[in-house]
Amino acid sequence: MAHINLPEGIPGILGPMAFSPETAVPLNALAEVLLRAPNSLSQGDREMIAAYVSSQNDCFFCQSVHGAAAAHYWGDKEDLVRDLKRDFESGPVSPKLKALLAIAGKVQKGGKNVTAADVERARKEGATDKEIHDTVLIAAAFCMFNRYVDGLATFAPTDPERYRESGKRIAAEGYIHSTDHLPKLAHG
Amino acid sequence: MAHIKLEEGVPGIRGPMVFSPETTKPMREFVDVLLRGPHSTLTAAEREMIATYVSSENDCYYCQHSHGAAAAEHLNGNYELIDQIKRDYATAPVSEKLKALFAVAKKVQTGGKNVTTADVEAARAKGATDRDIHDTVLIAAAFCMFNRYVDGLATWQPEDPEMYKTMGKRLATTGYLTTGWERPVAKAEAK
């Protein structure tokens, strides 16, 4: 059961977002620009960074949703997402994405863990300042989203099919209207 | 030196915020509603204190000093209280409810799953509402983001108390939405 009174059956972050629409609006706007707006990093790569950080934070809901989104963008490659979460260094992805995932892993542990060498490695593999910036901010943002979801002990479905649907919906509709269909809560 | 090329003389989070206006817009709107919005049952001072405490636990110099100054300026310049909270909130002269919320914030800082039913019950026993608990968890989580953004890019974080004081005054009175505050910060605010 969640730590506060949330509407039943609403999965993950959507519960607290329905509870607090005031904060949900800018949070969804941030997710949209970080993960979905035009960017030199593909939507799949950005969702993968989000899924990887969420898996390092052991947040089942976030890693499942954003992992499903990454898999969908990449052409239903669920196995690849699963393998990268376990060990991205030996996965079949670009050296640039590996270097960015390494930076994301450092941010997850704490901002000060990112070294000049981590950044140099990413730059050497072709990452721009903007891509390094976006990687750090995506990783930092998921250290927030994961804590929001787990810190309130929200409900997370276990059926993978529900996450596949979420992944497709994110790709098709994005984040801005993610809570539009939820019941409105009456509270102070 | 910062990990990416940021404008010189722009301290802390303001450097990456100038660098990336697209992400700055929702972040500013978020932090303003989170720390100053009228929906909350926590005072702006209490919310800034939670932000400061989490930033101090994350060892983020810029965030703990800018939000510490904002909290102090909400409290008629009581900087001593902010120092006490960072050292040991349990012995600081704040309400029992706020102490219980600091305990929840600390758990969130170490990882969301660390928040227990007992932590939440303890806060409720001291009068915390669902809204208070929600806002505490989200503020603590948000500063786990802001702190990582500031330190993960190795931003410039000056150690000039006067700069933070000026910043705190402005945050406590005009908030986070006003545009054009990013620069030239160091010169304008150090005076």
Number of structural domains in chain A: 1
Q: What is the CATH number of the domain that holds A162?
A: 1.20.1290.10
Count Cα neighbours of B47 within 13 Å in the Cβ-side half-sphere: 25
Q: Is the pLDDT of residue B109 over 70?
A: yes
Q: Note whether A147 contacts B: Cβ–Cβ < 8 A.
A: yes
Structural Rg of chain A based on CA atoms:
16
In order of A120, A121, A129, B63, B125, the CA distances from A124 in angstroms are 6, 5, 12, 31, 55
Closest residue of chain A to B109, computed from CA coordinates? A147
Distance CA B132, CA A4 (A): 10
**Residue A128 belongs to a domain:** yes
In order of A23, B21, B24, B132, B141, the CA distances from B135 in angstroms are 9, 26, 21, 5, 10
Range of the domain at A164: 61-179
Closest Cβ opposite residue A23 in set B5, B33, B146: B33
Q: Which residues contact A85 (CB under 8 A, 6 or more apart)?
A: A51, A52, A55, A63, A67
**Residue A4 belongs to a domain:** no
Q: In this structure, are residues A188 and B131 in contact, taking their beta carbons and an 8 Å threshold?
A: yes
How do the domains of chain B map onto residue ranges? 14-190
What does residue B68 show for φ and ψ, rounded to 5 degrees? -60, -40
CA distance B43 to chain A (A): 15
Could B27 and A37 be called an inter-chain contact, meaning their C-beta atoms sit closer than 8 Å?
Answer: no
Closest Cβ opposite residue A29 in set B26, B129, B147: B26
Distance CA A6, CA A123 (A): 44
**Residue A14 belongs to a domain:** no
DSSP secondary structure code for residue A183 in this structure? P
Closest Cβ opposite residue A22 in set B25, B37, B59: B37
pLDDT score recorded for residue B183: 55
**Residue A54 belongs to a domain:** no
pLDDT score recorded for residue A86: 97
Q: Quickly count: other Cβ atoms within 10 Å of residue A171's Cβ.
A: 17
Q: Is the pLDDT of residue B102 over 90?
A: yes
**Residue A184 belongs to a domain:** no
pLDDT score recorded for residue B84: 98
Given a cut of 50, the residues of chain A with pLDDT beneath it are 186-188
**Residue A42 belongs to a domain:** no
**Residue A73 belongs to a domain:** yes
As for the ipTM of the complex, it is 0.96
**Residue A56 belongs to a domain:** no
* Best to test chain A binding among B14, B148, B156 (most A CBs inside 10 Å): B148
- CATH class of the domain at B14-190: mainly alpha
